[in-house]
Structure 1
Amino acid sequence: MEIADHFGLYQSGIRKHLLRLAEFGYIDFEMHSARGIRVLASADHLVGDVRIDQLPLVGRIAAGTPLTAAENIEEWVQVNPELFRPRATHLFRVSGRSMLNLGVLDGDIVAIHEDPDATSGIVAAAVPDKKTDDLLLTLKRCKRKGGQVHLLSENDDQASYSPQIYEAGEVQVLGRYVGLIRPEHRR
């Protein structure tokens, strides 16, 4: 709870990160102990010179057809923490053109704020098919209607980028889109 409060994140997201660190053998949980997290490897060994002004660039996110994203961090990107509101927790490289009308281009880096309970109508990173263990990330406008989630593109070519409709249990919203970084070579 203290970690989540400090970074302005959800406890469930922090829990997932801690479990992943334990899975890789970087930390261990001390049973029956408040704040019972024990570091098993030095901080330098874990991530090098990571600072509070860095965000993980985690694979790719589709702005088009869902695309399998890497589960491991490609690199750490230095970002001013005040750049995005709410504060970004992850970065993803865009692949596709379905969000063109929003100004999101193929090759851009989008900032996502972890928010699994994002409200209807926002642009979000979503996993639209949980039949595999891979993350099939896509960036779309999410609209909740009844028991369904509609993932909508922001491109005038609706023949190529038609709405994707799923039952609520078939799609997981990872977080809300809070902005983008356009790489220097794309400006």
Structure 2
Amino acid sequence: MPPDLTRTRTAILSSVLRLGPVATVSSVAEAIGHSKQAVSQQVVILRSLGYLEPAELRYGPLIPTDRARLAVGEGLAIYGQIAAGAPILAEQSPDDFTPNLETLLGLRPGDFLLHVKGESMTGIGVLDGDYVVIRPASQVHDGEVAVVLLPGENSATLKRIYWFGNEVTLLSENPLMPRMTFPTDQVQVQGRMVGRVGVGVPRVSWARD
């Protein structure tokens, strides 16, 4: 921990990172059990040290800098680049930390996760048990991977979508799965896939003889 981060300053930064957009002097003071005056004084110091962004509004949100995230150790450790080479040494220090998964995945307000069941999209690396990041949308571009509500069913499916005149074709990314075709007015697009979190079955590639 950097020497300029006292226990109180560390607690403030940890609270700011945990609270996110709703982090203010008041909410942080309540979270860590200090007075607003005491937190406000420390916030001024943390801004001067580069751990918090400069204030745009007097009572605006507290915004942590990358230096704060690295100092507090918030997020997942990044150990540089690797080209399928030598393993990372146990004593090696991380180069950086991700701010959080939302930032890493480029999420926007309204985006959500869906838990994937099945193997119809394995061709693009979406495996059974993974999570996909969906951005709500009623229209998507031809060829995008979308969440589509199927006609006559109370369920949605993840497929690559194409329009052909008055018909919509839904394609899997698995040659064993048949394509599906429906009238355009019977298919409802609910969003587009913008990311994937691979937490499903173990990734097993082909084996050598």
TM-score normalised per structure 1: 0.51
The one-letter code of the counterpart of 1:145 is F
Tell me how far apart the structure 1 counterparts of residues 202 and 109 of structure 2 sit (CA, whole Å). 24
Runs (5+) with no aligned partner, structure 2: 1-17, 22-99, 204-209
The one-letter code of the counterpart of 1:137 is A
Which of 88, 109, 114 is equivalent to 1:92? 114
- Asked if 1:103 corresponds to 2:122, the answer is no
Larger Rg: 2
Runs of 4+ deviating beyond 3 Å: 49-52, 84-88, 184-187
TM-score normalised per structure 2: 0.46
Judged with a 3 Å threshold, the aligned counterparts in structure 2 of structure 1 residues 50 and 155 are, in CA distance, closer, same or farther, namely farther
- Asked if 1:138 corresponds to 2:154, the answer is no
Instruction: Map residues 19-34 of structure 1 onto 2, 5 A cutoff.
Output: none
The match for 1:124 is 146
Structure with more helix by fraction: 2
Q: 1:86–1:178: 8 Å Cα contact kept in structure 2? A: no
Q: 1:88–1:178: 8 Å Cα contact kept in structure 2? A: no
The one-letter code of the counterpart of 1:121 is G
Deviations for 1:10-33, whole angstroms, at most 9, x for unmatched residues? xxxxxxxxxxxxxxxxxxxxxxxx
The match for 1:73 is none
Which of 174, 181, 190 is equivalent to 1:165? 181
Q: 1:126–1:171: 8 Å Cα contact kept in structure 2? A: yes
Tell me how far apart the structure 1 counterparts of residues 112 and 137 of structure 2 sit (CA, whole Å). 11
Structure with more strand by fraction: 1
The one-letter code of the counterpart of 2:184 is A
Identity of aligned residues (%): 33
1:95 alignment partner, SS class:
coil
Instruction: Map residues 10-21 of structure 1 onto 2, 5 A cutoff.
Output: none
Deviation at residue 95 of structure 1 after TM alignment: 0.4
Instruction: Map residues 41-120 of structure 1 onto 2, 5 A cutoff.
Output: 79-84=101-106, 89-120=111-142
Runs (5+) with no aligned partner, structure 1: 1-48, 53-77
Q: What is the root-mean-square deviation in Å for CA atoms of aligned residues?
A: 2.8
Q: 2:130–2:200: 8 Å Cα contact kept in structure 1? A: no
The match for 1:152 is 171
Judged with a 3 Å threshold, the aligned counterparts in structure 2 of structure 1 residues 174 and 80 are, in CA distance, closer, same or farther, namely same
Judged with a 3 Å threshold, the aligned counterparts in structure 2 of structure 1 residues 184 and 146 are, in CA distance, closer, same or farther, namely closer
